[in-house]
Chain A
Amino acid sequence: SQQGEEDPQALSIQEGENATMNCSYKTSINNLQWYRQNSGRGLVHLILIRSNEREKHSGRLRVTLDTSKKSSSLLITASRAADTASYFCATDARRDDKIIFGKGTRLHILP
């Protein structure tokens, strides 16, 4: 079964609003990453947070990690039309080099 589960499955918001996506996972991890996928394209790495970090920022992105709850959130502030995409969390477990993805959140930014 998949390690990560994103919530919600789909999200539509107005341009300029903030978008929040959540990810839950099952086993202990080294790192958690977020990726974006535009329709029909390969995934692109956005941000990584290590298991000993609680929050990380990169431009309009803010990621939090709560290892006690085995969950992470991705916040995109001041959303733009170009942010329309699917977003995936990915985890790598402590025991091996597998990188496991969740099912993703489809984000649609309305003009």
Chain B
Amino acid sequence: DAGITQSPRHKVTETGTPVTLRCHQTENHRYMYWYRQDPGHGLRLIHYSYGVKDTDKGEVSDGYSVSRSKTEDFLLTLESATSSQTSVYFCAISEGTGNSGANVLTFGAGSRLTVL
């Protein structure tokens, strides 16, 4: 997935521990998104960012926080991981042109998180 990398790709952790997933892009795109994918639910938007320090909630933001201190990095943090947060997490980026344009997403390879 050229231009976008997620780390770690796999992580196993215990309930109650903090976890941070990192999304890094080299495309200088304005928009960055975090989704989770679970069987039977498709992809659900957690948080997204429309610029440095500009973020907003998605459909399933409870239990998650994000930060974007520079254009290339978008961090997703689980302050205290729970078993219900076991999932595959995808980051996506978009050049975006605002509400009048089209945000076509390029996805990372995903991060598989298991919370025991």
Chain A residues proximal to chain B, CB less than 8 Å: 1-2, 6, 30-31, 33, 35, 40-45, 48, 50, 88, 90, 92, 94-104
Contact = CB atoms under 8 A, between A and B. Distances in A.
What is the predominant secondary structure among interface residues of chain A facing chain B? strand
B98 A99 contact: no
29 contacts: A2-B41, A2-B59, A6-B42, A30-B100, A30-B101, A31-B102, A33-B102, A33-B105, A40-B110, A42-B1, A42-B90, A42-B110, A43-B90, A43-B92, A48-B102, A90-B105, A96-B56, A97-B31, A97-B98, A97-B103, A99-B45, A99-B94, A101-B35, A101-B43, A101-B44, A101-B45, A102-B42, A103-B40, A103-B41
Contacts, number: 79
A36 to B, nearest CB: 11
A2 B107 CA distance: 19
B2 to A, nearest CB: 11
A95 B98 CA distance: 10
Interface in B32-86: 33, 35, 40-45, 48, 50, 56, 58-59
A33 B42 CA distance: 15
A90 to B, nearest CB: 8
Nearest to A50: B102
Contacts of A98: 45, 48, 56, 58
B110 to A, nearest CB: 6
